[in-house]
Each structure stands twice: as structure tokens, then as C-alpha cells.
Amino acid sequence: MTQIQLIVNGKKVEGNVEPRKLLIDFIREDLGLTGPHIGCDTSNCGACTILLNGRAAKSCTMFAVQADGMEILTIEGLATDGKLHPLQQAFHENHALQCGYCTPGMIMSSVDLLSRNPNPTEEEIRLGISGNLCRCTGYHNIVKAISSVAKSHIFVSPVKKEGRD
Amino acid sequence: MYPRAFKYERATSLENAIELLSRNREDVRPLAGGMSLIPLAKLRLLSPGCIVDIGRLSELKGIKQDKEWLEIGALTTNTEILESKWLSGSYPLLLDTVKEIGDVQVRNRGTIGGNLAQADSSTDWPATMIALRAKFVSRGPKGERIHDADSFCIEPYTTALDPDELLTHIRVPNPASGSVGASHIKLERRKGDYAIGIVSAQLEVDNEGKCVSVGVGIGAVGVIAVRASKTEQLLKGRRVDADTLAKVGDTVRDSFGGMDILSDIKAPSDYRLDVIGTLAERCISKAYSMAASAGAGQGKGR
């Protein structure tokens, strides 16, 4: 077992994990945060997407030990003071979910996209969520929701800006 | 599914990583971004007894420019490469390649060194590195070695590296002139799927529009990525006109010698061999017009 410490949705958490424990299972089972989903479990579908140090990552394709010392944001950490994040609100208003299984991952990838590119074209939005599958094939309204947030300039990045080389 | 249990070691420095790999060399794998190793371990296609996590070695991260080359640390992520200030100028093929890789989540975690050490012909970097005539620097218990991109991959998923040797840096030669054109084209069934064909090319032209240097790499057809030597010979010293372009497809199909050609449910080998010619024509045509217009632009500036 390996001792790990990380910050999840702004709170310090500790864990004692077997090295082969996947990050998604640590988040869901040990921390009880069931927002990030396990869809395909083969690194394809993106339902398990979280932000790792501010960048979208598939938490089914990481060991929890790799995240030791890092900062994680899950869908649960996106709303502030009981108010939905603009992307969550836009998904709600645009009917950007049917069964909703892909939604947590879809929204976290959209956060990564808009944090880097506040004014994406439709093509850039579609490329930005190409690591997330919606098996209801409801992409049209998902793209519409992301685009509405970008166009109305209401996106607030939960990610701190970092220096780039 | 969970991977089989393994011993986990986290390297604290390059030296420490090599020591850990050496100590466990019979049954060990280094873990960088994990974009290949973890899926393979989850499918239990690969079950190393020991995994050495090299993901935190800052000495293997970052990009710097030298007189002769651009040096990319093996642990630089694809996103860091995509967002690097170096890419917009003299290295168009790096930019064209990196933006085609996987999806944002994969680019965020996946590293260039991890990809190259995986030696998978159907991924983007191997063909590009051959086209660029890149050199790979490795470090092991016996010290440093330099490999040519052409001979780094020995067979699918097998490189020239020893089990306790790490790829540390990738050196991409600086183009000799400003008249550089490049293109990375691939065919895939859907975004992020394994490619059915990859052509990566970089050309430099002189002021008459003749190709003075040509690099063409082909992936996802042969079981390892290869250089299209005959295509390079065809183009060198010539302007790329319609007649020349028409010969590109046949010369590309001559690149594979006796090598096994990939074949699967998405694309049998005869289809791959057929389509790669068309992809190569498009790729060379695009790279050449970019080089020619860069050259013309430079002429005006003088």
C-alpha cells in the first residue's frame, strides 16, 4: 500500500492505496465522489474525465499514486456557493444531455477547452470534445451549450493560469 | 479491469530511475504518461512485475533550441509541445503532427518520449521523426547513446533500448533555410482511432522551387514506421509538378521491402497499400506548395 495526499475540489485528502488502484476508483470508491463515471474503462469514452492540475485527464487511465501531490477537480467541485457553473447551467438550458452518463466528463473537457480558448469555432469545440463519447449521440446540443457559454462571455475558469515556456 | 499487482517505484532523478530499472531489469517498465502502458496493463497484455514511475523527472521536460537542433525532453507532454512558442516558426511538421494526436486528454498526459519508446507504427510521432531525421538520446547504466530515428524501432513495440535504458531527449535538426513546407496526413475511421495510413513529409526548396532537402516517413502500413527513400530520391532536385506527383504513389509503395503489412478488420493490407499512395500524393503536394510559398515570401522580403 502507498500513502498519497492530494487536493480534491479544494480539500486536502489522504489515501492509502494499492499502486494498481486506478484514479477513477480512488475518486469514486474511497472519496465517494461518483460524478466522474466509468464508461468504457478502455481510455476511449472520456466519461471519467477530471481536471488534473487544471488539465483534462481520463482518470481511468491513471493510477491513483500518479496523482500524489496533485490538484484534482471533479464535476462536484464546479458549482460555487450552490450555484451551477455557467457550463452546467448551459447544458441544462440547451438540453445538452439525454441519458446524462457522459455529461460530467463532457463538462470537464469543456472547461479545459474554454480555459485555453475562450472563443472556439464550432470545429474547435467538436475537436475539443473528441475525447468524449455521447452514446445517445446528442452532440448537437452539447456543442450548442458550449458555444452559448463562449458567446455570452460568462465562462469563469476554475483553473489558475500557469506560466508557459 | 485491474492490471496485475506490481511493485511501484517512483524515481526521484534520472540517475535514480536508471538504478531502479537496472535493479529490476528482468521484469520492469518505465511509466511516463501511461497512455499506452496503462491500457495495455489493464487488458493484461502487459504485466510487468515492477513499474518505475518517471513522470516527475523535471530534467526530462521542456524544449530548448540549440545551434543545430531543437531539443525536446522525452517527458514533454504533447500539449506542452502544441502550446510551445518554438513550433510556429521553423518546425511546421512538429505542429502539424502534434495537433493530430489522440484527443485533448491524451495530449495532456501523453509524452513524446513515451510514444516513441512504445514503437507503435500506427501512432503519429514515429513517421514524423523519420521525416525530420531526428536523433534520439538515451541514457542507461553504460552512459549515453544516440540513435537515428530510422533504426530506433526494431520491430513492433520493440526499440533499440535496453530494459534499463531510458529515452531522454529528441533532437530535431533545424531547417537550413526558411523555405520549409510540411504536412502530416493520416486516414482514420474516426478521430482518435488507430490510423489506417500516415504520411509525414518535410521539404525545403531553393529559389527556383527545386527540392533541396526531402524527408518522408510512412506509418500505419508497415509493422514499423519506414522512410520512403524512393520518394525522397524522386523529389530531390526537382520541382514538384503534376508529372512528378503522379509517380509519388508507386515510389511510396516501394518503401516496405519484405516487411509485413498491417491488416485488420478496418483495413486489410492491400487496402492500406492502395490508400497510402493517395495520402502521399496529397501530403507531398501540400508540403510543396507551403515550401514554395514560404520561399516566394522570403524572396520578396529581400
Chain B residues with CB under 8 Å of A19 CB are 5-8, 51
Count of CB atoms situated within 10 Å of the CB of B157: 17
Residue B254, classified by CB atoms within 10 Å of its CB into exposed (0-12), middle (13-18) or buried (19+), is exposed
Interface contact B35-A130, CB threshold 8 A:
no
Q: Both B101 and B150 in a single domain?
A: yes
Chain A residues with CB under 8 Å of B38 CB are 43, 61-63
User: At a CB cut-off of 8 Å and minimum separation 6, what does A83 contact?
Assistant: none
- The verdict on residue B226 lying in a domain is yes
User: At a CB cut-off of 8 Å and minimum separation 6, what does B120 contact?
Assistant: B36, B126, B156, B157
Instruction: Given the cut 0.90, state whether the ipTM is greater than it.
Output: yes
**Position B271 pLDDT exceeds 90:** yes
Please state, in angstroms and as integers, the Cα–Cα distance from residue A55 to each residue in A59, A142, B9, following that order: 12, 20, 25
Interface contact B191-A130, CB threshold 8 A:
yes
The alpha-carbon gap from A62 to the nearest alpha carbon of chain B, in Å, equals 7
- The verdict on residue B302 lying in a domain is no
Question: Which parts of chain B fold into alpha helices (H)?
Answer: 14-23, 37-42, 78-82, 92-98, 104-109, 112-118, 124-131, 149-152, 229-235, 242-253, 269-301
CB A70 within 8 A of CB A53: yes
**From the candidates A18, A20, A134, which should be mutated to test the interface with B, based on the most B CB atoms within 10 A?**
A20
**From the candidates A25, A130, A133, A137, which should be mutated to test the interface with B, based on the most B CB atoms within 10 A?**
A130
pLDDT one-digit tens code per residue, B168-222: 999 999 998 779 999 999 999 988 888 999 999 999 999 999 999 999 999 999 9
Interface contact B105-A109, CB threshold 8 A:
yes
Q: Phi then psi for B223, rounded to 5 degrees?
A: -65, -20
**Position B24 pLDDT exceeds 70:** yes
Structural domains in chain B (count): 3
- pLDDT at residue B180, rounded to an integer: 94
Chain A residues with CB under 8 Å of B104 CB are 56, 109, 112-113, 128, 130-131
**What sign does the dihedral B124-B130-B136-B141 (CA atoms) show?**
positive
pLDDT one-digit tens code per residue, B88-117: 778 999 999 999 999 999 999 999 999 999
Higher pLDDT pick, B86 / A89: A89
**Position A13 pLDDT exceeds 90:** yes
- The verdict on residue B33 lying in a domain is yes
Q: Both B200 and B165 in a single domain?
A: no
pLDDT one-digit tens code per residue, A21-78: 999 999 999 999 999 999 999 999 999 999 999 999 999 999 999 999 999 999 999 9
**Position A102 pLDDT exceeds 70:** yes
Q: Both B74 and B21 in a single domain?
A: no
Residue A41, classified by CB atoms within 10 Å of its CB into exposed (0-12), middle (13-18) or buried (19+), is middle
- The verdict on residue B99 lying in a domain is yes
Our measurement of the distance from residue B16's CA atom to the centroid of its chain's CA atoms, rounded to an integer in Å, reads: 27
CATH number at residue B84: 3.30.465.10
- pLDDT at residue A161, rounded to an integer: 58
Q: Both B47 and B83 in a single domain?
A: no
- pLDDT at residue B141, rounded to an integer: 97
Which helix H or strand E contains A82, and what residues bound it? Answer: none
pLDDT one-digit tens code per residue, B40-83: 999 999 999 999 999 999 999 999 999 999 999 999 999 999 99
Q: Residue B294 — pLDDT band, cuts 50, 70, 90?
A: confident
- pLDDT at residue B18, rounded to an integer: 98
Q: Both B153 and B204 in a single domain?
A: no
Give the pLDDT mean for A78-99. Answer: 96
- pLDDT at residue A162, rounded to an integer: 53
- The verdict on residue B104 lying in a domain is yes
Q: Residue B298 — pLDDT band, cuts 50, 70, 90?
A: low
- The verdict on residue B91 lying in a domain is yes
**C-alpha radius of gyration, chain B, whole number:** 19
CB A125 within 8 A of CB A113: yes
- The verdict on residue B195 lying in a domain is yes
Q: Both B140 and B187 in a single domain?
A: no
pLDDT one-digit tens code per residue, B135-167: 999 999 999 999 999 999 999 999 999 999 999
Q: Both B251 and B185 in a single domain?
A: yes
Amino acid at site B66? D
Q: Both B211 and B271 in a single domain?
A: yes
Range of the domain at B96: 62-173
Chain A residues with CB under 8 Å of B10 CB are 65
Q: Both B37 and B73 in a single domain?
A: no
CB B185 within 8 A of CB B191: no
Count of CB atoms situated within 10 Å of the CB of B88: 9
Higher pLDDT pick, B296 / B211: B211
Give the pLDDT mean for A140-149. Answer: 98
Q: Both B192 and B100 in a single domain?
A: no
Query: Which three-class secondary structure state does DSSP give residue B204?
Result: strand
Distance (Å, rounded) from C-alpha B94 to C-alpha B90?
Answer: 9
DSSP string, B26-65: GGEEEESS-TTHHHHHHTTS---SEEEE-TT-GGG--EEE
Distance (Å, rounded) from C-alpha B231 to C-alpha B228?
Answer: 5
Domains of chain A: 2-77 (3.10.20.30), 86-151 (1.10.150.120)
Interface contact A112-B192, CB threshold 8 A:
no
The alpha-carbon gap from A79 to the nearest alpha carbon of chain B, in Å, equals 22
Distance (Å, rounded) from C-alpha B294 to C-alpha B203?
Answer: 11
Q: Residue B296 — pLDDT band, cuts 50, 70, 90?
A: confident
CB nearest A131 (choices: B34, B85, B104): B104
pLDDT one-digit tens code per residue, B212-242: 999 999 999 999 999 999 999 999 999 999 9
Interface contact A2-B8, CB threshold 8 A:
yes
Q: Residue B297 — pLDDT band, cuts 50, 70, 90?
A: low
- pLDDT at residue A163, rounded to an integer: 43
Interface contact A113-B109, CB threshold 8 A:
no
Q: Both B164 and B132 in a single domain?
A: yes
Q: Which of residues B173, B193, B217 is at a domain's end?
A: B173
CATH number at residue B28: 3.30.43.10
Amino acid at site B189? R
Q: Does A56 touch chain B (CB under 8 A)?
A: yes
Distance (Å, rounded) from C-alpha B295 to C-alpha B111?
Answer: 33
CB nearest A20 (choices: B3, B102, B109): B3
**Position B302 pLDDT exceeds 70:** no
- The verdict on residue B1 lying in a domain is no
Q: Which of residues B142, B173, B204 is at a domain's end?
A: B173
Give the pLDDT mean for A141-162. Answer: 90
Residue with cell 538520446: B137
Q: Both B186 and B267 in a single domain?
A: yes
Q: Residue A89 — pLDDT band, cuts 50, 70, 90?
A: very high
Interface contact B104-A18, CB threshold 8 A:
no
Q: Which of residues B173, B201, B227 is at a domain's end?
A: B173
Query: Which three-class secondary structure state does DSSP give residue B269?
Result: helix
